[in-house]
Amino acid sequence: MDLYKRIKEELEQAKKNKVYNNIKILESKQSDMIKVDSKNFINMCSNNYLGYASDPLVIKAVKKSIKKYGVGPGAVRTISGSFDIHDEFEKRLAQFKGFEATLVVQSGFQANTGLIPTITTVDDLIISDQLNHASIIDGVRLSKAQRTVFKHLDMEDLEAVLKENRPNIKGNIFIITDGVFSMDGDIAPLDKINVLAKKYKAYTIVDDAHGEGVIGPQGRGSVAYFGLEGQIDIETGTMSKAFGLVGGFISGKKELIEYLKQNSRVFKFSSSLPQQFAEAGLAVLNQLEKDDSRLKKLWENTKYLQNKFIENGFSIGTTQTPITPLMVGDEATATELTKILFKNNILVSPIIYPTVPKGKARIRLMLSSLHTKQELDKVFDIISTEYRKIIKKQK
Ligand code: PMP
């Protein structure tokens, strides 16, 4: 079939099925409030957990960096070189995360796709949590290794997979998991995964995109949350969430990072993280170490809103973090509720198939330290009234 005919049909079908994503145009900075269509909305769909995305501290760091280093990185680092700020930030980030060394790349997606195929071979096996992020799935797809999944958070299943496969695998086994799962907000049991990894001689890789800045002392992330510094082999992460920036990283042993610099296609063939983001990342890191008041506020807001939902009989799934999935079931309800909330100046994103399985649609509310109690009260009041109206209409 003609390409454009097929594409058009698919787009029309998505609109008919009410799963077409209308991307909103933002007219102000990322904060607790945000302007869309010249109107101000309570912003419940940003990963700006600690409010750094538009913080004066970050803006100052970016300005300072642009003055010194300009804007563009020139080329890939193997050709044009690394800026000293890249090196400084990588060293500091490694310390913060409890690893020997770190490599920064352009995004969290690039971290997973730059790591997984580079360190795995045909003789290896990758064992992945069933609900791992798309960037891990794509990293695995790019790898030549054998692959399998274990049931989400299910340690019995993970052990069964390890037991069955260990005798047949000539190479290495890698267990890969999100630290915090982005759609459900639940935390991977890294303590138990670590025990199984040691028992079956497997390596562990944790993607801590939603853990860093959010859990663990000073927001050091999932590994620190379990007190497993030095135990987990490799971590990938992003600066697009609690750091309020953009950029990704891979942390591990010194020789691993050296190997990635020589061999990772993402590092060798794609221009580096812009230097101003390394500078801004360093500013955020300094602040995280100095002052945990934003982290405390984030958790205070999280408990406040989540308790309201729970006390009033709503399901927010199995979340253990500020990711708050209001489970509504079918795709059409999620889409309708999103539209009604939009009319009430509340910005949320419906999470629907294929991002989550059919029938598990949800409105994902993302908490930030910037939200006020009044804003959260309004969000809860409108959701509870409007959601109940939809349910009544459906009956
Ligand atoms: N891993 C996880 C678990 C994520 O949630 C995300 C962000 N959606 C990424 C990786 C990708 O990060 P980035 O946006 O920096 O590419």
Q: What is the 3-state secondary structure (H, E, C) of the chain?
A: CCHHHHHHHHHHHHHHCCCCCCCCCECCCCCCEEEECCEEEEECCCCCCCCHHHCHHHHHHHHHHHHHHCCCCCCCHHHHCCCHHHHHHHHHHHHHHCCCEEEEECCHHHHHHHHHHHHCCCCCEEEEECCCCHHHHHHHHHCCCEEEEECCCCHHHHHHHHHHHHHHCCCCEEEEEECECCCCCCECCHHHHHHHHHHCCEEEEEECCCCCCCCCHHHCCHHHHCCCCCCCCEEEEECCCCCCCCCEEEEECHHHHHHHHHHCHHHHHCCCCCHHHHHHHHHHHHHHHHCCHHHHHHHHHHHHHHHHHHHCCCCCCCCCCCEEEEEEECHHHHHHHHHHHHHCCEECEEECCCCCCCCCEEEEEECCCCCCHHHHHHHHHHHHHHHHHHHHHHC
Q: Token pair for residue 152?
A: 């989400």
**pLDDT range class, residue 1, cuts 50, 70, 90:** confident
Ligand 1 centroid to 247 CA: how many Å?
A: 10
Query: Span 193-201, mean pLDDT?
Result: 98
**pLDDT range class, residue 269, cuts 50, 70, 90:** very high
**pLDDT range class, residue 392, cuts 50, 70, 90:** confident
Range 56-290: architecture per CATH: 3-Layer(aba) Sandwich (3.40)
Q: pTM of the predicted model, to two decimals?
A: 0.96
Query: Span 122-136, mean pLDDT?
Result: 97
Ligand 1 centroid to 205 CA: how many Å?
A: 15
Pairing of strands 234-238, 202-207: parallel
Query: Span 258-281, mean pLDDT?
Result: 97
Ligand 1 centroid to 112 CA: how many Å?
A: 9
Distance from CA of residue 267 to its chain's centroid?
Answer: 20
Query: Span 271-280, mean pLDDT?
Result: 96
Residue 247 alpha carbon, nearest atom of ligand 1: 15
Q: Whose CA is nearest to atom 9 of ligand 1?
A: 108
The answer to whether 247 and 106 have CB atoms below 8 angstroms apart is yes
Check residue 18 and give its pLDDT.
75
Q: Is the CB of 32 under 6 A from ligand 1?
A: no
pLDDT in tens, 90-112: 999 999 999 999 999 999 999 99
pLDDT in tens, 321-333: 999 999 999 888 9
What residue segments make up the domains of the chain, in order of their start? 11-43+292-394, 56-290
Q: Reading across the β-sheet that carries 33-36, which strands appear in turn?
A: 33-36, 39-43, 346-347
d(CA 105, CA 188): 24
Q: Whose CA is nearest to atom 4 of ligand 1?
A: 209
Check residue 209 and give its pLDDT.
98
Q: Token pair for residue 285?
A: 């890191």
Ligand 1 centroid to 82 CA: how many Å?
A: 24
By most ligand atoms within 8 Å of CB, the mutation choice from 106, 184, 240 for ligand 1 is 240
Q: What are the residue numbers of the active site?
A: 182, 210, 241
Give the number of other CB atoms < 10 A from CB of residue 229: 13
Query: Span 45-65, mean pLDDT?
Result: 97
Q: Is the CB of 109 under 6 A from ligand 1?
A: yes
Q: Whose CA is nearest to atom 5 of ligand 1?
A: 182
Ligand 1 centroid to 325 CA: how many Å?
A: 17
Query: Span 238-252, mean pLDDT?
Result: 98
User: Residue 305: which residues within 8 A CB-CB, separation 6 or more?
Assistant: 324, 365, 367, 376, 379, 380
The answer to whether 141 and 176 have CB atoms below 8 angstroms apart is no
Ligand 1 centroid to 89 CA: how many Å?
A: 20
Query: Span 276-283, mean pLDDT?
Result: 98
By most ligand atoms within 8 Å of CB, the mutation choice from 136, 182, 222, 239 for ligand 1 is 182
Q: Is the CB of 107 under 6 A from ligand 1?
A: yes
Query: Span 370-391, mean pLDDT?
Result: 96
Check residue 393 and give its pLDDT.
85
Residue 178 alpha carbon, nearest atom of ligand 1: 3
Residue 179 alpha carbon, nearest atom of ligand 1: 3
Check residue 138 and give its pLDDT.
98
Homologous superfamily of domain range 11-43+292-394: Aspartate Aminotransferase, domain 1 (3.90.1150.10)
With a threshold of 0.95, tell me whether the complex ipTM lies above it. Answer: yes
Q: Token pair for residue 283?
A: 């500013």
